[in-house]
Structure 1
Amino acid sequence: MSKKEKPLGMRIGENVFCIGYLVFALVAGCTFILRAQATGDIFYSICAGMTLLLGCGDAFHLVPRIMINFKGATTIESEQRKRDFWLGLGNLVSSVTMTVFYLFFFAALSVKHGNGDISSVSGNRMILLMVLIVLAVIRIALCAFPQNRWFSKEKDTNWGLYRNIPFVVMGVITVGYLIMLFQEWLLAVLVTVSFVCYMVVVLGANRKPMLGMMMIPKTICYLWMISLFL
């Protein structure tokens, strides 16, 4: 076994978790669609878009990881470059979809705590949504810079920080309105934990790869959040 290869048990466990997460996101998304069709409630339509966007975006980086775990380590340079490309592309796509996820998240909460339709996103809530949209656009634009080195193993930690500054601000605003506007304390805790785990990975996983395991509690937070909407 290659020194760089994960133990078989770890690879199997990671694959089971990743596949379970993707199946859950698909089933939850389809459940929201069926509820939206049955009730005509726009809340479920927004939740369906939010959940399927998250699951499909994460699939871009989880499916390559699943395939790599099945195949094991490689010493073939061309194969490694191919893996780096697909993992990098997956991380780029999921960074974008995860950002847009919070726009759907805000809209869903506004409808849930409003009068049940899209007009609930008005007044102060519309201002907050516009601020989130601006931050999301800035974050996505920063993700597009080549200095991020998405397709290389040698990541630039500084750019990992730059592109995530607007994302963290989105998280702070999200937690703020969850507490002050909606009194959704459990969701506030889940969003906070997911952001903390994510930033630990962004800032530390390059130097200490085991910190990448923090993506597991981050993902569990997302599963819990979707479950609460269900």
Structure 2
Amino acid sequence: MRAIFETLFDIFYLLTVLSVGIRMIRNSKGSAQFQLFGWMAVVLGAGDSFHLVPRALALCTTGLDSYAFQLGLGKWITSVTMTVFYVLLYYVWRQRYHIHGQKAVTLAVYTLSAARVILCMMPQNQWLTNHSPLSWGIYRNLPFALLGLLVIVLFYRSAKENHDTAFRWMWLTIVLSFGFYIPVVLWGDVIPVIGLLMIPKTCAYVWTVLIGYAAMKAEYKKEN
């Protein structure tokens, strides 16, 4: 039952974010903001597929232990693509609110992103085994969490200051995604049931993508 549910959920998730992302890219009408948002969704779905597809195969066949290499490689790739996702989201913020300058903020985004990617590339992570150490899970996620916190603050403040109803909950989707993700990093290996929090975490990302898509449709509807 778990294998069927997870597999169907993952298929729904990947098809949703990829199809919405592609649609946004194709229908962006030259809008840098929505084109970026579309690419952000595609990066999210494509990156997660490297982990979710092997996971679905593992659950439906011989089990997770038999796919340690594929799952580890998928997590490794996803850790990088998720970092790219937040960099793109940062530029969506800049485009949407017509931000100029802010070099210190941009430097912080790139510094945290670089730190995250470098830490993810360290062999101590032991990605391709079943025994990835908790300590390195914490190390590589510290700059990632700070990057997420920075993006949360930026969207919260800008949406409030600009009375942006379309993006008023963007900050909350990111809060929820990290809120569900952090317990999995800390206790997922010790208490396997905590891994189920990845489902609402994934739903939070779907919400993120749908906010952008709904905003695009609403803006183009006004123009017509």
Q: TM-score range by the shorter chain?
A: 0.7 to 0.9
Unaligned runs of 5+ in 1: 1-8, 115-119
Deviation track 1:54-112 (CA, whole Å, cap 9, x = no partner) reads: 111000000001111221438xxxx82xx111000000000100011011111112212
The equivalent residue for 1:113 is 97
Deviation at 1:42, TM superposition (A): 1.3
Distance in 1, matches of 2:72 and 2:211, equals 31
2:137 pairs with 1:147: no
Contact 1:155 1:206 in 2 (8 A): no
Question: Aligned runs of 1:39-188 on 2, under 5 Å?
Answer: 39-73=29-63, 80=66, 83-114=67-98, 120=99, 122-124=100-102, 126-183=103-160, 184-188=167-171
The equivalent residue for 1:17 is 9
Unaligned runs of 5+ in 2: 161-166, 214-224
The RMSD of aligned alpha carbons is 1.5
Residue 184 of structure 2 aligns with an amino acid whose one-letter code is V
Indicate the SS of the match to 1:207. coil
TM-score normalised by L of structure 1? 0.86
Change (3 A) 1:175 1:218: same
Deviation at 1:41, TM superposition (A): 1.3
Distance in 1, matches of 2:63 and 2:30, equals 49
Deviation at 1:185, TM superposition (A): 4.1
Distance in 2, matches of 1:147 and 1:185, equals 40
Contact 1:57 1:98 in 2 (8 A): yes
Residue 229 of structure 1 aligns with an amino acid whose one-letter code is G
Deviation at 1:168, TM superposition (A): 0.9
Contact 2:97 2:158 in 1 (8 A): no
Deviation at 1:190, TM superposition (A): 1.2
The equivalent residue for 1:27 is 19
Indicate the SS of the match to 2:159. coil
Distance in 1, matches of 2:122 and 2:63, equals 30
Distance in 1, matches of 2:129 and 2:12, equals 28
2:193 corresponds, among 200, 204, 210, to: 210
